[in-house]
Structure 1
Amino acid sequence: MPAAPPRVLAAAALAACAVLPAAPAGASEAPVCSSTKHPVLAKRLGHRIANALKGRTGTESVAVYDRKRGLRCGVLAGRHYDSASVVKATVLAALLRSAAEEHRQLSAAEEDLATKMITRSDNRAASALWRTVGRARLARFLKRAGMAHTTLDPAGHWGLTQITAADQITLLRRLTAHNRLLTDDARAYELDLMHQVMPSQRWGTTAGTPAGVTWHVKNGWLPRHGKDWRVHSIGAFTGHGGNYLIAVLTQGTPTMAYGVGTIERVARAVHGDLAPGTRASVPGGLPDGAAETSDGSVPAGT
């Protein structure tokens, strides 16, 4: 496994503390942001997230965590969604945990598959690593990670893993802080791959990332039966004063671009409040002329 680049080590500034509380499905859609240290900021950010979601088509779940400020936000953070390709971040984390339990490094073949799975969202690589880890070890990883509301698809389709925004924040917290589940080298390795995502897949929670802050992202985009898009983005933002996490999951958007737009409205609101006064280095949006095609995480017709 390659050594972690210096930019990733800044992620260790976050601590692995308690899991972000999940708002139950069906709860009020008004965002709930709290911070005993910064109540005014929490209130303002809550309003900005609400405005970002106002009038949008579909269903959205949002979870935000900023340890330095002791700030948490959640909008329907306990609602379940088909994971699409977002689950690939969990698959890699489970593989890294499995390798550590076996007291070994990833093989060259596993590293090649991991790189393709995260940076290009390659589905064949994801399926191969899904089989390598196996259902039992994946389930054990979820339990040990504290991702209690994430469930594997009974039919074995990894893209239909049921996820919540709150559990995605839990995963990101395990990746961005020293903890007993993942070694520091393993965390740095996965975060580095999440920073190397190909340009056409850098939309979503990265939109509006302040200059000097390092982003780490994994996205998913899946229409079921040719319509009704699920568009998701999870991101960790580290270094130079930026140590916060964002998860936005959406369903029922009319197009992929519309779902991306919803996520990026929320992302810009969060970046604007948690890193104010800094120039945005990531514009966001799908590349011009990008085709609205599924990420392929679920076989057609499933």
Structure 2
Amino acid sequence: MRWVSTVTAAAIGAGALAGPVAAATPSAAAGQRAAASGPEVRCTSTDRALAEKLSHDISRALAGRKSMASLSFYDRPTGTSCTLGAARQYDSASAVKAVILGALLYQKGGTLTAREDALARKMITESDNDSATALWKELSDLRDPEKPNPVRIQEFLDRAGMGNTVLDKEGSWGLTQVTAGDLARLLRLFSGGDDSVLGSGARTYALDLMQHVRPAQRWGATAGAPLDSLVHVKNGWLQRSRNSDVDAFDRGDWKVNSLAVLTGNAYDSGLVVLTENNRVPEGHPAEEGWNYGIDTIEAVSHAVYRDVYPGAERYEPGRSLRRGAATAG
């Protein structure tokens, strides 16, 4: 019998104010998020003690954090899963690039042209925004070039059962609304054995790109992962502008997201952590909001991997954000 442990994650996300570097459209979910009550960490497992410990330790990792956070975790070998606000929508930033990759592979039957392969590689391993825009347009209805409607990405979402993901239909792909639950479903798709949506070659290709993300971008949901696992990752970060046409909830806010899959040596797990409300104190460097979001994610990541893989040697990622660079990735 599966056992359910429920523990309240105290004070996750107090008041909010914040919105993107390159887009002024306010977040569609902002009002819902501002009014939402704090969710609870819920873990289930075939191992009762593990479920209870995860619920407690994830809640403790988030206690006192000012970030608003949601997560979804699964571990197939132990039959374990954890969620926290997994249906809450967040601005995707570059986390949506994993979705674009899945849609591209789905539409192409896993066989890409040399140009598509080059764009996909840059999009995932370097988080290149121009490559993401090019593939977004390739998967869109371009009857109005100023507002590429990503109809073929939507077809993939429908097929993959990612019904809570809302694509931005005006071309600002980083403002796509994603949920931890849907992104975990995508990770299960990439790492599983089901050929009904993506064939084995396409799944292997996606994981290979995520395994070769450059070292400076391997932070987040990778932190504390066992050193003998293969770690596949895609992160996203975005500081919304302070312009008056951006919803007050989003103005100046850093959105920092991370998704990771562990495979190899009998590992088979996925973790998604989405955050927002990562504020920069007045007069402080902008990077502080970015680092605060990462610290929130890595606190969760360490707690999860410590409990599920006790005694393992740990991976500790670096991070790098160039001063003066665009604040989206």
Identify which of 220, 240, 250 aligns with 2:265.
240
1:284 counterpart residue number: 317
Aligned length: 268
Q: Secondary structure at the match of 2:87?
A: coil
Q: For each residue in 1:94-147, what CA deviation from the matched residue of structure 2 results, as whole angstroms up to 9, or x when unmatched? A: 0001001xxx72111111101100000001100011111221111110011010
1:189 is displaced (CA, Å) by 0.5
Q: Secondary structure at the match of 1:31?
A: strand
Identify which of 91, 98, 102 aligns with 1:89.
98
1:66 is displaced (CA, Å) by 1.1
Q: For each residue in 1:127-169, what CA deviation from the matched residue of structure 2 results, as whole angstroms up to 9, or x when unmatched? A: 0111112211111100110100001113221111100000000
State the one-letter code of the partner of 2:154: A
Identify which of 208, 227, 250 aligns with 1:211.
227
Identify which of 44, 56, 72 aligns with 1:34.
44
CA 1:268 to 1:294, structure 2 compared with 1: closer, same or farther past 3 Å?
farther
Consecutive unaligned residues in structure 1, runs of 5 or more: 1-23, 298-302
Identify which of 127, 140, 156 aligns with 2:133.
127
Q: Where is the helix percentage greater, Structure 1 or Structure 2?
A: 1
1:27 is displaced (CA, Å) by 5.5
1:293 is displaced (CA, Å) by 4.9
Equivalent residue runs for 1:248-263 within 5 Å: 248-254=273-279, 255-263=289-297
Structure 1 contact 85–295 (Cα < 8 Å) conserved: no
Structure 1 contact 204–263 (Cα < 8 Å) conserved: yes
CA 1:149 to 1:294, structure 2 compared with 1: closer, same or farther past 3 Å?
farther
- TM-score calculated relative to the size of structure 1: 0.85
CA distance in 2, matches of 1:57, 1:88: 27
CA 1:45 to 1:293, structure 2 compared with 1: closer, same or farther past 3 Å?
farther
CA distance in 2, matches of 1:127, 1:247: 23
2:202 is aligned with 1:186: yes
2:255 is aligned with 1:230: yes
2:328 is aligned with 1:296: yes
1:273 counterpart residue number: 307
Q: Secondary structure at the match of 2:40?
A: coil
CA 1:146 to 1:185, structure 2 compared with 1: closer, same or farther past 3 Å?
same
State the one-letter code of the partner of 1:248: V
1:64 counterpart residue number: 73
Structure 1 contact 117–125 (Cα < 8 Å) conserved: yes
Consecutive unaligned residues in structure 2, runs of 5 or more: 1-31, 141-149, 243-251, 280-288
Provide the alpha-carbon RMSD of the alignment. Answer: 1.7
CA distance in 2, matches of 1:49, 1:285: 22
CA distance in 2, matches of 1:115, 1:71: 32
Q: Secondary structure at the match of 2:256?
A: strand
Equivalent residue runs for 1:169-184 within 5 Å: 169-179=184-194, 180-184=196-200
CA distance in 1, matches of 2:126, 2:328: 12
CA distance in 1, matches of 2:114, 2:91: 31
1:300 counterpart residue number: none
1:7 counterpart residue number: none
1:111 counterpart residue number: 117
CA distance in 1, matches of 2:106, 2:261: 20
* More off after superposition, 131-140 vs 212-221: 131-140
Structure 1 contact 242–275 (Cα < 8 Å) conserved: no
1:71 is displaced (CA, Å) by 1.2
Q: For each residue in 1:225-270, what CA deviation from the matched residue of structure 2 results, as whole angstroms up to 9, or x when unmatched? A: 1521000000001122321110000001121000000000000111
- TM-score calculated relative to the size of structure 2: 0.78
Q: Secondary structure at the match of 1:200?
A: helix
Structure 1 contact 221–294 (Cα < 8 Å) conserved: no
Q: Secondary structure at the match of 1:212?
A: coil
Identical columns (%): 43
CA 1:292 to 1:145, structure 2 compared with 1: closer, same or farther past 3 Å?
farther
1:292 is displaced (CA, Å) by 7.7
Structure 2 contact 216–318 (Cα < 8 Å) conserved: no
